[in-house]
Structure 1
Amino acid sequence: MTTGFVDEPRLAGLMAREIGRRALSRLGALFRHPLPFAGGAPLPAAMLHDLRRGDPSIARGFYVGHVWLAGQLVELNGRSPFALKDEARPWRAELHGFGWLRHFARAGDALSCEHARSLVGDWLRLGRRQRTALAYEHEIAAGRVLAWIAHAPTILSGADAAFAERFARGLAAETRHLRRMAGSAPAGMARLRVRIALVAAGLVQPGAANAVRQAARVLGEELDAQVHADGGHVSRNPAAVSQILAELVPLRALFDERGVPAPRAVFGAVDRMLPALRFFRHGDGSLALFNGAGAPDHHLSAALLAHDETLGEPISQMRQSGYHRLAAGRTVMLADTGVPPAPDVSHDAHAGTLALEFSSGGRRFVVNCGAPVRIEGGWRRLSRTTAAHSTLTLNDQSSSRFSRSEAVDRFLGGPLLPGPTRVPVNREESHEGQVLTAAHDGYRQPFGFVHERQLFLSRDGRRIEGIDRLFQAAGRPHRMACDEPMGTLRFHLHPDVEVETAGEGLRLVHGEEVWWFFSDGAPQLEESIFFADAAGPRRTRQIVLPLDCLDRTDLNWRFERQA
């Protein structure tokens, strides 16, 4: 299959930069297993609080040999988990990142502490040839350092002096490796997490003031580069906001505990991102499913928002990140109104421009399919297509493009190749309600059309109206010439929504909330998949409206809440 370099020169540039980055990383890998200090290494002098809630049942699973990580259950059958080489990459990545130590900390009993210590000891005893290269990828190595610092009390509870010294040396060696490799970290979350881990490691090491100042300065620069003024992340992933906050909020507290002034960029990023997190939340606490967001972590969101001192209503738009929020009464509607992120930070981005979600009374009704828990294989690519979003597709083609080569995707991580280059937006309010109008040109190149979507939310929140239109792009005759419907408008329903045809419309029921759907023409109900569930993909339904572009170029539709 062609790599697509002829059609997309940016792929060639991405490939060249990635080859250079990997070459630099391999140079650092020559020293991947440094010898420990000749003398002793200090134990962490402070703790980094882990805001993610642990599950003691997962810790018990380790004990009996049933290990649940990254949405996959693996039977150990008496083997060390670190000896496994053939399991799925996401499972192994989570294993070597050690974030699962929070489950042992949550259990808190002496047996759990002993088992956690035993697992860390197994890893420390691995020979240099036995440690998989995956464990030293930047984001995984940074996660391991952060987890060891955060859960040192659990690991060291009841430990003898020999283990404590071995653990301290191991942590120091991992930190040195991370510092040496920091310059070759990939753009985006991996680079940011490395910088956070280096600051945290410096803060808990006695007498590391100079190292902390330097690491904090670089972290501040990275935060300024990656966190927009509106609090969104450059990846445009709502889940990235909570992931970054989950490490920045404890880091800010650690600065205070150690009596070290935190850089202004850390405070600024936290203060911007907490309102952004509130912006993306539906009434049930779940984050909107745009650009890589998946199964919700309600406890983490609640723990983070406890630090939000604004305590006001969520903001209505995120201009730099490209999102709008319309809320009235019990109804919340969120829309993606931005261009795709830059290709080098788009590995989790979706082709969902102009997609919407809405919830009512804490019940989600219209959603996007979201990102699967297991981020590998065909499910991941399917979840990123425009058809997996509540918006309009043309000719079953996505509004943004992907590489046509699986080999390129594996090497580059599956970047999104931008389709829309402009998304003009207009928002108005009147005594009747809020009107949001946006358009994108992602279908201009292949089909000669611009897609415009107009959304209206009544002042009482009881009515949502929409119009999806196709306009012929200036100077481009449209290239569609077939008798079949070329356009398809989709509204994916949350799996807990019960839907039935009733008269000329559809009746949607979720708990005590009842809504009706009406549209031009007869809406069809089809099967769909909801990926964003911790237990795995769930079957659901979608409302489908065909649009024959040779016959008409607009569709009117509305949702009304039952009195």
Structure 2
Amino acid sequence: MSIEAKVAPSIGVERSITFMDKVHARLSAMRAQATGFVSQPEPRTIGSFAKGKQLAAGNFQFGGHLVQAEGRSLWEITPPDAMYEAELNGFTWLDDLASVGDRDSRLLAQAWVHEWIERFGRGRGLGWSPDLTGRRLIRWINHALFLMNGQTPEANDRYYKSLAHQTAYLGRRWSVASRGLPRFEALTGLLYASLSLGGMERYATPSTNALARECADQIDAEGGIPTRNPEELLEVFTLLTWAAAALTEAGRMPLPAHLAAIKRMAPTLRALRHADGGLARFHGGGRGLEGRLDHALAYSGVKAAQLDGLAMGYARLSGGRTTVIADVSAPPARNASRVAHASTLAFELTSGRRALIVNCGSGAPFGAEWRRAGRATPSHSTLSIDGVSSAKLIAEPQGEFLTSGPTKVTEQRNVGSDATEIIASHNSYCVEYGLTHVRKMEVSLDGRRVTGEDTLAALTDPDRVRFEAHMDKISLQGVPYSVRFHLHPEVDASLDMGGTAISLALKSGEVWVFRPSFAAKMTIEPSVYLEKGRLKPRASKQIVLSSRVMEYASQVSWSLAKAQDTPSYLRDVDEDLELALK
């Protein structure tokens, strides 16, 4: 029987620490010995100077919580929840302290690492899952010089022993990590340690082989992963580039399956990046850490290349400085759907460095209710019928999974001389309503105009029978539906042209004008923007087009166009950067 401590699902966080994890953590200590570093992979993790200064000041922000405890240790604080505790035990905050790099931050990092060894080093706490242990090992090895500088031989000996202990634990337990990012983290940590620590060389070949097998099994032919989470794809890609570099620096050749996976993933990630450099926010993923994608692509050595077709199930349209990325594939299936969203046919739009149309994002850092709300279809820039999601959540002991989603999703791309168009559809609403959602979007070559049509139609005779039955059930009142366009919090929306249009002003000075067809009622309503690193959701707005299906088909068309006096290219520099340049 497994005794588990639950952890809320998030990017790179396993759901449970099992009793057997703790048993193996304690057993591993009995045989673990390391003689020191034989080599050290070059530090590649990117930290935040600002976050490092906040940590040093006693402001501990993890898992959506801020704990202010100046003068106290990280480990003296009772964690508000398991996600907070998991982030602590992953030690990514070491990157932030190392980015500050001064004496005070170094002494703090050293004290907190050794306090962890004292408190949890023999298998206690939530830190002994394979993925968290792998993540922690990578940071401890990356910042070894930072952590060992000025320490006594006895302190460094305790550090070596803990590294060896964690390595031996991973050698026993990496295979029980969930497939996907958790297992890649565990294996990369094991590989790093085997290449760096004297006495741990026996794990190098097994971890290299296992990593190659996971690449072959988990990275599909188009460079995607089962979760279809762009940020998770970036995290896996980053780990693989780090592992390949570490192998090369140690005089070993990464296996062909490993290198081939990196080569497949790079163009997919490039296609999932908006014009502002951030990733499209779908299926629980965020924009990605600042600079992470550029660094990973640079380290990969994979040359930029045009991707033909879809990128992990997403269609990308671009013109001028405008990008549209749309989810035009079925949602992730079963185990891969633990943090997935009901986002079929949703899209995001970015103009230059400014996001315009977005999805609400993942509510996981803000608790269970926000997590569920963020996964619902109305939290995405797409159509929903009567507030019903295109896929449902089912709660099981292992988590909340998507079910009853679309069984058929189609996509077609048409490239013209002055615009590119996609036409996509899904059948999720056929069973209950007999209606198929068809979305057509077009981006002009110069990027100044985006047009769309959203259609609900009963396409087949059986669908028409179901539609008529539903109409009878609601006394022929019509099937209500809404098309939502969630706006980034920095977009200023106001009714214009006598209420027939909405002006959207960006911080860059650009103005876009949204116009709907007269078949729908248009309103501006409250919305939220959910992002990691914030203590609470950010207030924003959404444009909502509302109508009813009265016959076998109903259509709403809309357009987004730059105002005539808005130039195609504007100088757009952050205020902070402008001040720095003065």
**TM-score normalized by structure 2?**
0.86
**1:131 and 2:127 are equivalent in the alignment:** no
Question: Residue 465 and residue 39 in structure 1: after superposition, are their counterparts in 2 closer, same or farther (change >3 A)?
Answer: closer
Alignment of 1:196-275 (within 5 A): 196-206=188-198, 208-275=200-267
Question: Residue 421 and residue 541 in structure 1: after superposition, are their counterparts in 2 closer, same or farther (change >3 A)?
Answer: same
Counterpart of 2:23 in structure 1 is 30
Counterpart of 1:544 in structure 2 is 544
Alignment of 1:392-541 (within 5 A): 392-403=383-394, 405=395, 408=396, 411-472=397-458, 474=460, 475-476=462-463, 477-478=466-467, 479-480=470-471, 481-482=473-474, 483=477, 486-503=480-497, 504-510=500-506, 511-521=508-518, 522-532=521-531, 534-535=533-534, 536-541=536-541
Shift of residue 291 of structure 1?
A: 0.9
**1:558 and 2:555 are equivalent in the alignment:** no
Alignment of 1:263-302 (within 5 A): 263-302=255-294
Counterpart of 1:14 in structure 2 is none
Shift of residue 137 of structure 1?
A: 2.4
Q: Percent identity?
A: 29
Deviations 1:343-391 (A, max 9, x none): 2121221110000111122221111111247153211111111001000
1:341 is aligned, of 332, 336, 342, to 332
Tell me, yes or no, if the aligned pair for 1:90 and 1:376 is still in contact at 8 Å. Answer: no
Alignment of 1:146-161 (within 5 A): 146-161=138-153
Tell me, yes or no, if the aligned pair for 1:96 and 1:140 is still in contact at 8 Å. Answer: yes
Amino acid corresponding to residue 561 of structure 1 in structure 2 = K
**C-alpha distance in 2 between matches for 1:160 and 1:548:** 74
Q: Secondary structure at the match of 1:326?
A: strand
Deviations 1:99-132 (A, max 9, x none): 1111121121233222211111111112678821
**C-alpha distance in 1 between matches for 2:32 and 2:354:** 59
1:388 is aligned, of 379, 384, 389, to 379
Shift of residue 252 of structure 1?
A: 1.5
**1:166 and 2:158 are equivalent in the alignment:** yes
**C-alpha distance in 2 between matches for 1:24 and 1:544:** 43
Question: Residue 138 and residue 473 in structure 1: after superposition, are their counterparts in 2 closer, same or farther (change >3 A)?
Answer: farther
Question: Residue 213 and residue 248 in structure 1: after superposition, are their counterparts in 2 closer, same or farther (change >3 A)?
Answer: same
Alignment of 1:112-123 (within 5 A): 112-123=105-116
Shift of residue 473 of structure 1?
A: 5.3
Counterpart of 1:6 in structure 2 is none
Segments of structure 1 that go 5 or more residues without pairing to the other structure are 1-20
Counterpart of 1:378 in structure 2 is 369
Q: Secondary structure at the match of 1:307?
A: helix
Q: Secondary structure at the match of 2:158?
A: helix
**C-alpha distance in 2 between matches for 1:78 and 1:513:** 46
1:184 is aligned, of 176, 194, 199, to 176
Shift of residue 165 of structure 1?
A: 1.1
Amino acid corresponding to residue 231 of structure 1 in structure 2 = G
Tell me, yes or no, if the aligned pair for 2:425 and 2:437 is still in contact at 8 Å. Answer: yes
Question: Residue 374 and residue 303 in structure 1: after superposition, are their counterparts in 2 closer, same or farther (change >3 A)?
Answer: same
Tell me, yes or no, if the aligned pair for 1:452 and 1:468 is still in contact at 8 Å. Answer: yes
Tell me, yes or no, if the aligned pair for 2:49 and 2:100 is still in contact at 8 Å. Answer: yes
Question: Residue 208 and residue 262 in structure 1: after superposition, are their counterparts in 2 closer, same or farther (change >3 A)?
Answer: farther
Amino acid corresponding to residue 503 of structure 2 in structure 1 = R
Tell me, yes or no, if the aligned pair for 2:23 and 2:123 is still in contact at 8 Å. Answer: no
CA RMSD in angstroms, aligned pairs only:
2.5
Amino acid corresponding to residue 465 of structure 1 in structure 2 = T
Q: Secondary structure at the match of 1:155?
A: helix
Shift of residue 46 of structure 1?
A: 2.7
Amino acid corresponding to residue 496 of structure 2 in structure 1 = A
Amino acid corresponding to residue 413 of structure 1 in structure 2 = G
Deviations 1:121-148 (A, max 9, x none): 111112678821x212232222112221
**C-alpha distance in 1 between matches for 2:56 and 2:314:** 44
Segments of structure 2 that go 5 or more residues without pairing to the other structure are 1-13, 565-582
Worse-superposed segment, 65-74 or 418-427: 65-74
**1:92 and 2:107 are equivalent in the alignment:** no
**C-alpha distance in 2 between matches for 1:145 and 1:554:** 55
Amino acid corresponding to residue 436 of structure 1 in structure 2 = I
**C-alpha distance in 2 between matches for 1:210 and 1:290:** 40
**C-alpha distance in 2 between matches for 1:113 and 1:89:** 27
Tell me, yes or no, if the aligned pair for 2:513 and 2:563 is still in contact at 8 Å. Answer: yes
Tell me, yes or no, if the aligned pair for 1:37 and 1:169 is still in contact at 8 Å. Answer: no
Amino acid corresponding to residue 550 of structure 1 in structure 2 = M
Amino acid corresponding to residue 286 of structure 2 in structure 1 = G
Deviations 1:450-485 (A, max 9, x none): 111111122222221111111225324122543265
Shift of residue 311 of structure 1?
A: 5.1
Amino acid corresponding to residue 545 of structure 2 in structure 1 = L
Shift of residue 64 of structure 1?
A: 4.1
Amino acid corresponding to residue 368 of structure 1 in structure 2 = N
Tell me, yes or no, if the aligned pair for 1:187 and 1:344 is still in contact at 8 Å. Answer: no
Deviations 1:316-362 (A, max 9, x none): 5335x211101111211111011111221212211100001111222
Shift of residue 313 of structure 1?
A: 6.2
**C-alpha distance in 1 between matches for 2:300 and 2:70:** 45
Tell me, yes or no, if the aligned pair for 1:51 and 1:300 is still in contact at 8 Å. Answer: no
